[in-house]
């Protein structure tokens, strides 16, 4: 048994959200006042997570990303990461984090085999950071960024581009890559704020690209299958930049991803509805074969692309969840 959909796409990359809670309140993701968090006993336990990881690994998943909510808000996260390391199930381990609580753990993350970290940072300006995140944590995030840069972990910055909010940060971020060995990825804002509000952003891929090229000479690099970012090098810069057409959805054809949320809810496409049946399977004593069969069945129904998936979501009467429950 392997994870493959009806379009012949092999799924070898799992993004696992270990919590839906976060210590920031970015309005495009988890707005202030959001309170529909999962009860603690609905989170998969560490033992359940390890069991799930063994099963997905046996089905051909080779790459694992830990995400959330904010992964470091999950109690005893490092214990879970040590357990995952001991299993030696994956070719590569990655994490997406907001960097607030990350810096003290970087050395151990290296030991545990983390190859890259995506650090979410939407502004290089302290005041704007506070406006966007509603928390005064800029300094701790920058300390994480600088410590990551000194480590062997490849560092990518994820910056969501929002009209009238942080577009003035685009060029400073590109400038930052001149002397910093980081890869900055500009992400189109998607409607995953948990409120049903559509982003007002007119800052799509093309707009971001032409804004950058007005000031810098971008050299586009070839995209590999499964890549979501169009990457560019810039002459004289030690870092690089990329743009993710996350809302335009131009890269679905080679998607190799599967998302599993903190309760075990499975999303074969970011834009589609979640399947909630794994949690009950886990808690009702199902054996590994039954769980593997459910996973392969769900993945085989992966929608063709994000537009088809969104249609399924709308037809089922649901709306996009907060990204904190999905993991990005």
Minimum Å gap between C-beta 152 and ligand SAM is: 20
| CA distance readout (Å), 77 to 102, 113, 125, 146 | 11, 15, 29, 22
Nearer Cβ to ligand SAM, position 258 or 323? 323
> Residue 55, Cα to own-chain centre: how many angstroms?
21
Torsions phi, psi of 314, nearest 5?
-65, -40
Nearer to ligand SAM, 190 or 278 (CB): 190
| 219 contacts 232 by C-beta, under 8 angstroms | yes
Spatial contact of 132 and 165, defined as CB atoms under 8 Å apart: yes
Give dist(CA 147, CA 110) in Å, integer: 12
Tell me how far, at minimum, the Cβ of 72 lies from ligand SAM, in Å: 9
Tokens at 192, concatenated: 């995953």
Per DSSP, what are the bridge partners of residue 244?
Answer: 187, 229
Interacting residues with ligand SAM (CB under 6 A): 22, 28-29, 67-70, 96-98, 120, 158, 160, 187, 189-190, 192-193, 246, 323-324, 327-328
- Nearer to ligand SAM among residue 166 and residue 240 (C-beta): 166
**Shortest-Cβ-distance residue relative to ligand SAM:** 328
The nearest distance, CB 55 to ligand SAM, in angstroms, is 23
Q: How much is the CA Rg of the chain, to the nearest whole Å?
A: 19
Kindly tell me which of 94 and 302 has the beta carbon lying closer to ligand SAM. 94
5 vs 165, which CB is nearer to ligand SAM?
Answer: 165
End-to-end CA distance of the chain: 27
Q: Which is nearer to ligand SAM, 55 or 119 (CB)?
A: 119
Q: Which residue's CB is nearer to ligand SAM, number 145 or number 324?
A: 324
Q: At its nearest, how many Å lie between ligand SAM and the CB of residue 228?
A: 11
CA dist., res. 280 & res. 312, Å (int): 23
CB of 258 to ligand SAM, least distance (A): 16
Residues in the chain, total: 328
The minimum distance between CB 274 and ligand SAM, in angstroms, equals: 14
What's the rounded Cα separation, in Å, for the pair 82 and 200? Answer: 41
Distance CA 191, CA 189 (A): 7
Pick the closer one to ligand SAM by CB: 21 or 292. Answer: 21
Please report how close the Cβ of residue 68 comes to ligand SAM at its closest, in angstroms. Answer: 5
Q: Are 25 and 135 in contact (CB under 8 A)?
A: yes
CB of 198 to ligand SAM, least distance (A): 10
Q: Are 122 and 26 in contact (CB under 8 A)?
A: yes
Taking a C-beta distance cutoff of 8 angstroms, is the pair 191, 197 a contact? yes
């Amino acid at each position: 048994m392997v994870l493959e959909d009806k379009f012949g796409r092999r799924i070898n990359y799992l993004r696992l959200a270990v919590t839906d809670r976060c210590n920031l309140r970015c309005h495009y993701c988890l707005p202030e006042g959001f309170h529909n968090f999962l009860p603690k006993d609905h989170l998969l336990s560490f033992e359940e997570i390890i069991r799930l990881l063994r099963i997905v690994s046996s089905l051909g998943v080779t790459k694992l990303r830990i995400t959330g909510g904010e992964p470091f808000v999950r109690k005893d996260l490092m214990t879970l990461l040590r357990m995952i390391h001991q299993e030696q199930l994956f070719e590569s381990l990655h994490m997406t984090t907001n960097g607030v609580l990350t810096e003290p753990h970087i050395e151990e993350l290296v030991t545990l085999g983390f190859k890259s970290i995506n650090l979410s940072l939407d502004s290089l300006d302290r005041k704007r950071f506070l406006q966007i995140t509603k928390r005064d944590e800029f300094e701790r995030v920058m300390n994480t960024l600088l410590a990551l840069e000194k480590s062997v972990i490849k560092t990518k910055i994820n910056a969501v581009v929002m009209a009238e909010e942080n577009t003035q940060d685009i060029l400073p971020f590109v400038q930052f890559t001149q002397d910093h060995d980081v890869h900055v990825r500009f992400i189109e804002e998607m409607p995953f704020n948990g409120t049903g509000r559509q982003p007002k952003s007119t800052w799509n891929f093309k707009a971001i690209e032409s804004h950058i090229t007005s000031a810098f000479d971008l050299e586009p690099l070839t995209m590999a299958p499964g890549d979501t970012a169009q990457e560019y090098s810039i002459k004289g810069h030690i870092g690089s930049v990329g743009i993710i057409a996350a809302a335009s959805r131009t890269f679905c054809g080679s998607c190799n991803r599967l998302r599993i949320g903190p309760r075990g809810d499975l999303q074969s496409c970011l834009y589609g509805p979640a399947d909630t049946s794994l949690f009950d399977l886990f808690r009702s004593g199902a054996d590994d074969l039954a769980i593997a069969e459910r996973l392969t069945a769900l993945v085989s129904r992966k929608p063709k692309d994000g537009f088809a998936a969104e249609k399924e979501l709308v037809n089922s009467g649901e709306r996009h969840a907060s990204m904190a429950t999905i993991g990005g």
